[in-house]
Chains A and B, each alone.
Chain A
Amino acid sequence: MGLKSSLHNLKEKYKGTKMAPAFNAIHTFLYTPNDTTHGGTHIKAADDLKRTMNTVIMALIPCLIFGMFNAGYQHHYALGEIGKASGFFDPVFWSWNNLTIGLWKVLPLVVVSYGVGLAIEFLFAVIKKHEVEEGYLVTGMLVPLIVPIDTPLWMLAVAVAFGVVIGKEVFGGTGMNILNPALTIRAFLFFAYPTWMSGDKVWVHGAVERSNEIAGGANLDAISGETILGSLAQGHQSAYSLSEMFFGMIPGSVGETSTVLILLGGLFLIFTKIGSWRIMLSSVIGALVMGLIFNSVVSSGWITESSKFYTLMSTEFWHHLLLGGFAFGIVFMATDPVTASQTNKGKWIYGFFVGFISIMIRVFNPAYPEGVMLAILLMNVFAPTIDHFVVQGNIKKRKKRLKVKAA
């Protein structure tokens, strides 16, 4: 009672001042406000935006925790200190040693992502005198999960600042942006600092450092931290088994590797009705269709093994679902309600093309074989157009009804 009423008094004191949005933002995390309905419906359903965003974060937590263990595992494995984990529950993977590295490397990414992003959100809220909206809660958790483990923190800070300001706030903040903010941040990193975002050195902690040491004359073995997609794009065969790809004990961005946990997160989002099953399902269909097309191109002999696209094109079509950031992208990024299509029919079309284009980019762009980021950003741009045509269908029906009457 004491805390509740003293916070209430503080809120009343701040009311109408510049700092009110900042205070309220923190206050509402502790207590749902005492606002009552005025005009309109007198009762409201239980969910608010905070609960919605929180549900997405809950779906992300397993990926985050797995990502921490995997960061350590990849590091120690690459150094040859531990053997290969034999299964999902192998204690070699779930070891304290692995987690320490993970905590040491991943938590700073999370802290910087939230710190910089929320600071900007608060600043804009105070300047523009609106409440701090919850959109960044999810973005801030997504960002550390979709960057390489060794991303320098200052780079991340710059990218987050860019993504939040240019990707979101210039459009008017949460709910108004055209591009997915988390992907805008990643795209910025990718185009501004490509050497830190692709290649065979960035995906395992210590690999960059080691190669610098070797370049400096040290007599050490290089750490190879290539992603599966990276090696396939080079025409090499993957060194990982399907179960490793499914469980996620492979190099990659922090949270994107474990298809099984992403699948669980996706099912949780569908069950809670927060994520759109239409987008997830149609993306998978789109990817499978594109994969099948490539497979049949290979099987009908249109390209030869010497082609630089051969290895990726001949990859079994459904393996694409397990590779790279595809699963993470369609479950957590393509489904962003603000930047996806907003009509149910539109979601089918939008999702299909996200999947379709992801695999296309993946195959045709060996320099950067991760297509899902660019595919989603591209479809973000087209989403309003898709919606426009879907809505036009409804409008036409209405006009036709009028004509039938008039005739």
Chain B
Amino acid sequence: MSKDIKITKGLDIKLRGEAEKTTEKAIISNFFTIRPEDFHGVTPKLIAKQGAKVKAGEPLFYDKSDETVKFVSPVSGEIIDIARGEKRRILSIKVQADKEQTYVDYGKFDDNANAEAIKSHLLASGCWPFIKQRPYDIIAKPDKMPKAIFVSGYSTAPLAADLNYTLKGKEAELQAAINALGKLTNGKVHICVGKTGQSPFEGLSGITLHKVSGPHPAGNVGTQINKIDPVNKGEVVWTVAAQDLVIIGELLLTGKFNAERIVALVGSSVKKPRYFVTKIGSEVATMVYDNGVDKDGNDRIISGNVLSGKQVKPDGSLDYYSNTITVIPEGDDYELFGWNKPVFNKISTSRALTFSWMSPNKKYELDTNTNGEHRAFVMTGSYEEVFPLDMYPLQMLKACMYQDLDEMEVLGMYEVAPEDFALTEFVCVSKQPHQAIIRKGLDLMIKEIGL
């Protein structure tokens, strides 16, 4: 049974620098970097040594708490650097790519295989980390049976890559991935697509399709879970990003771990924003600087979207889960009387001499300035306007801050991920770090309550 979802609470943040719908091949990156910090809660144990030769799809490390969860190299080449931080924590693993790519052959996958076989196949081939779970927003625990699997085929985040465009022509891969994942749950595979536009998901079988409309965060999988089949205590749902289904599907069809992905290069600092074909872990410099970002400019490069992406250095790389690179100006400058003068060039949900309400369709060029200082929570009611989940955001944040596990549990902490609090963080007049607060709260629950 499909169910249409209409979101009314939320906020579409319209920014300049939307990607034009043309795709080109990115310059092939010489180096590929995998950063264990992309996988929250994973303690990496190295398999490959420095100087070793690896093929694409060959394991680099595994998760200390679950040896079956393997993380593989996106390309074939030589491991040239393993950077370590405090207490010898592994920061990154850098692979120098071969000119000729070679792949580990995991073999074509039998469609009739049972759940156990699918699971071990995905675990061994490095596709497992694409599957995340709620509660806690971490890589799914393979030994748990999810009550449902959710995929959002609709992105509403500011300047996000249009999935209808990037997934076009990938129907076969998507179907293969869905067939396999569908066997891992005794519930449904829920796919949400936008109400308008032609989604490649629409013709697929074995799914429950939902049409979503409304402002951001309508496209967030957390919003969709809350509206379709919310997570109760003791239940688990899995989520997979739509673009990662393609990698899973290709592995099942061809036996190759092909880390290729279409990425949108967006943001007001990009002269010609558009799409690129590239691979997980490739250097952002291969896309960013040759395409209109000023090399000496004072810009911030973000792997992901402006709300929950990660800041990367100019020599940084595309992270494991992102299909967007955003470049926006840094805002490290003072503004004279910024707190009381009328504001025309920034977005606001209030009308306190802020005028973005007068032109709802205007596209803005926002920088990274916080527009004010960090303060205690004072205002109330503003988060609820942009928070469509059926729970109390302010109370939840406070419960996380005073670390009341019982209260966090009953308020709905099992259902949320940090990204669900990105909009409340954006509108917060007290400039509180909502996503970090929620992440800390979730980590505390993992530690105290356990998985």
Contacts and interface: CB of A to CB of B under 8 A. Distances in A.
Interface string B363-388: 00011111111111111111010000
A338 B309 CA distance: 32
B422 A41 contact: yes
Nearest to A7: B334
Contacts of B369: 32, 34-37, 44
A28 B410 contact: no
A47 B371 contact: yes
B334 A42 contact: no
B380 A31 contact: no
Interface string A7-27: 110000000000000001000
Contacts of A48: 339, 370-373, 375, 429, 431
Contacts of B232: 398, 401-402, 405
Nearest to B411: A395
Interface string B11-40: 001010000000000000000000000000
A319 interface: no
B220 interface: no
B350 interface: yes
B359 interface: no
Contact of B352 (A4, A40, A273): A273
Contact of A391 (B333, B347, B395): B395
A175 B374 CA distance: 12
A221 B179 CA distance: 97
Residue of A29, A35, A133, A343 with most partner-chain B CB within 10 A: A35
B350 A272 contact: yes
Contacts of B353: 51, 55, 272
Contacts of B391: 394, 398
B346 A398 contact: no
A259 to B, nearest CB: 24
B373 A35 contact: yes
B339 A29 contact: yes
A31 B381 contact: no
A128 interface: no
Nearest to A403: B232
A32 B334 contact: yes
B255 interface: no
A91 B355 CA distance: 36
Contact of A40 (B300, B380, B395, B433): B433
A51 B381 contact: no
A389 interface: no
B340 A50 contact: yes
Given A43-B15, A175-B378, A337-B379, 15 more contacts: A4-B336, A35-B369, A37-B368, A39-B311, A40-B422, A43-B13, A47-B372, A47-B429, A48-B339, A49-B375, A52-B429, A133-B376, A174-B376, A391-B411, A395-B411
17 contacts: A34-B333, A34-B369, A39-B433, A40-B433, A44-B431, A45-B349, A47-B349, A134-B375, A175-B375, A273-B350, A273-B351, A344-B384, A391-B392, A391-B411, A398-B391, A398-B410, A405-B235
- Kindly list the 4 A-B residue pairs having the minimum CB-CB distance in the complex, ordered from nearest: A48-B372, A32-B338, A175-B376, A46-B346
